[in-house]
Structure 1
Amino acid sequence: MGDRFEDLRTFVAVADAGGITSAAKALDVAKSAVSRRVSELEQRLGVKLVERTTRSFALTAAGRRYHVEAHDLLESLARLDATAGDVAPNERVRRLSLVAVQEAGPARVGAAVARFLDKHPGSPVDLTLLPQGASNPAAGDADVVIGGPGGKAPRSARRIAGTAMTVTASRGYLARSGRPKVPGDVAAHLGIISTMRSGVPAWMFRDGVTVVPQAALTTSDDAAALAAALAGAGLVCLPTDAVAGEIAAGRLEALFEDGMGEPPRLWLSNEGGTASATLADSLAASLTGTS
């Protein structure tokens, strides 16, 4: 039984590390010992779990299924051990990792995670929002990944919409400068440009129309852009959920409510076990409005 446990532990380490050499370093054992255990496991199961050459490594379909089940089994054993020791169970809970692009909308993703935590308080989440200009994440960078336009989505990924955008301005600015009636009018107005989602200053409206305002301020921070808009510095284009409260309170006015472009198409991928699949399902429901 002990050998079978080590076989599982070794195989999971190999799958998680993406290769024999990296797994051997992580386990602090000889590379040959890791390779032998994987081979013996394949022989015992009668199925090939990995495809490996001197230059490449990949799990087979059977290997991917076995990895998920083995990972969950090891987690179950760890939880069982925790209940018998002096360590409190909540100190051994596995944290779920989530990586998301800015196009998903920080406030929107945060709210979606909060809804998940409300239903699953024993499954803490570590959320990483990638900065503007960062490389698109790949499936496997975290338990759950939300990738943006241009990224290579895995076949199993689900499609979700990015955050909707709204152009707003303070009543004071509109009183001084007039209210733009059509998207083309934006070009004659002062604008506050946030580069958190894109380094491109143009704002996209319906039918692919893009307009560049006269940039009074360019910032890499949405909060700074919002503060400047509230102070009357110009028009601003920000995620709808980031300005909804200010619009409801009457501090900002929404413009072109029916004329904004479609949100970017994003993808959501789950590469972990049962717990991360639950997180992925919850996020997909929240971010597609089906929760």
Structure 2
Amino acid sequence: MDRIDAMRAFVSVVTEGSFSHGASHLQLSPQLVSKYVSQLEVRLGVRLLNRTTRKVSLTEAGTEYFQHAQQILLSIDEMDAQLGGLQQQPKGTLRISAPVSFALKHLGRLVTDFQIAHPLVNVDLQLNDRKVDIVEEGFDVALRIGQLKSSSLIAKHIAPIRVVLCASADYLHKHGTPTCAEDLKDHKYLHYSYIEMEGKASRYHWLRGKNNQHNSKLESNNGDVLVEAAIAGAGLVLQPTFIASEAIRQGKLIEILPECEPEPLGLYAVYAHRKLLPNKIRCFIDFIEGYYGAPPYWDTLTP
């Protein structure tokens, strides 16, 4: 049994949803794909898939193996593409989806530098805070912020995203500075309506609880608007530092309860798993990785 072929068969079954669709994707017979997966399970000594007449589903061991196998196959495919495309300059149009606030503040320079390095690549950058379907909507890469769930897409971690709670000095002078988490329940809160980001900030969960909705004086799906409102003294705001760091550096906002800061989110470059990744996508992923620094430059600004 070729381990790579068996691994590829298993990943194809999972991503395509069935043995027949996985076999069709690989241009193999369902019987051969089933044989590959069964041999893989025998070799590993664990069941990877639960099989019924209608569908297949991952076991706990299968979930863990799928994540590792997907990354291994991606590395192999990328290495093959790099070796096979060393003499090929990336070209064509690269369609990118990105969050609005992050793109406005931090993507202009990156795209410019990328095109200087790769002048034959045209960039079509579309800004949207909703979660786009990159396959259905024809995007090559999507930049996403959050804690991403397992999927058939490849997610490359680009940078950590800190989320901080802050307010203006004027607001804190009028309403008091919280000294512990319990104090937050009595304050006005500027609510970010995309819960996917905020939901992971569990240490501030009471700020969006149903019993405290009356404390949410302003709600918006744009972080820049909320940060500007906080600067004007409207209330507390929970936002990523790539938006708020400049205002904090200038003293327009003051960070509150830094000891309760939530676990960082992540900036990810997300793209579809492809056997032969186009050179323009591979070059962009390589370019953006490490571009913002570690920690990212917006977290190293000093007064």
TM-score, normalising length from structure 1?
0.57
The amino acid that maps onto 2:27 is E
Q: Would the alpha carbon gap of residues 123 and 185 (structure 1) be closer, same or farther in structure 2, given more than 3 Å must change? A: farther
Separation in structure 2 between the aligned mates of residue 139 and residue 258 of structure 1, nearest angstrom: 42
Q: Please say if 1:183 is aligned against 2:177.
A: no
CA deviation after TM superposition for structure 1 residue 163, in Å: 2.4
CA deviation after TM superposition for structure 1 residue 102, in Å: 7.2
Aligned twin of 1:284: 289
CA RMSD of aligned residues (A): 4.4
Aligned twin of 1:126: 124
Q: Quick one: which of 141, 145, 162 aligns to 1:144?
A: 141
Q: Would the alpha carbon gap of residues 185 and 248 (structure 1) be closer, same or farther in structure 2, given more than 3 Å must change? A: same
Separation in structure 1 between the aligned mates of residue 228 and residue 114 of structure 2, nearest angstrom: 30
Q: What is the aligned-residue identity percentage?
A: 21
Q: Quick one: which of 197, 203, 211 aligns to 2:206?
A: 211
Provide, for residues 9-58 of structure 1, a one-character-per-residue CA deviation record: whole Å limited to 9, x for no partner.
Answer: xxxxxxxxxxxxxxxxxxxxxxxxxxxxxxxxxxxxxxx995289xxxxx
Separation in structure 2 between the aligned mates of residue 253 and residue 179 of structure 1, nearest angstrom: 10
Three-state SS of the structure 1 residue aligned to 2:217 is strand
Are 1:138 and 1:145, in contact at CA under 8 Å, matched by a contact in 2?
Answer: no
Q: Quick one: which of 161, 164, 168 aligns to 1:163?
A: 161
**Higher-Rg member (1/2):** 1
Q: Would the alpha carbon gap of residues 217 and 269 (structure 1) be closer, same or farther in structure 2, given more than 3 Å must change? A: closer
Three-state SS of the structure 2 residue aligned to 1:179 is coil
**Unaligned 5+ residue runs, structure 1?**
1-47, 54-60, 80-92
Q: Please say if 1:259 is aligned against 2:260.
A: yes
Aligned twin of 1:224: 225
Q: Give the aligned length.
A: 216
Separation in structure 2 between the aligned mates of residue 175 and residue 49 of structure 1, nearest angstrom: 63
TM-score, normalising length from structure 2?
0.55
Q: Would the alpha carbon gap of residues 198 and 104 (structure 1) be closer, same or farther in structure 2, given more than 3 Å must change? A: farther
Q: Would the alpha carbon gap of residues 202 and 287 (structure 1) be closer, same or farther in structure 2, given more than 3 Å must change? A: same
Provide, for residues 95-115 of structure 1, a one-character-per-residue CA deviation record: whole Å limited to 9, x for no partner.
Answer: 212224679776455565455
Are 1:136 and 1:151, in contact at CA under 8 Å, matched by a contact in 2?
Answer: no
CA deviation after TM superposition for structure 1 residue 266, in Å: 5.8
**Unaligned 5+ residue runs, structure 2?**
1-23, 30-72, 209-214, 297-303
Q: Would the alpha carbon gap of residues 116 and 185 (structure 1) be closer, same or farther in structure 2, given more than 3 Å must change? A: farther
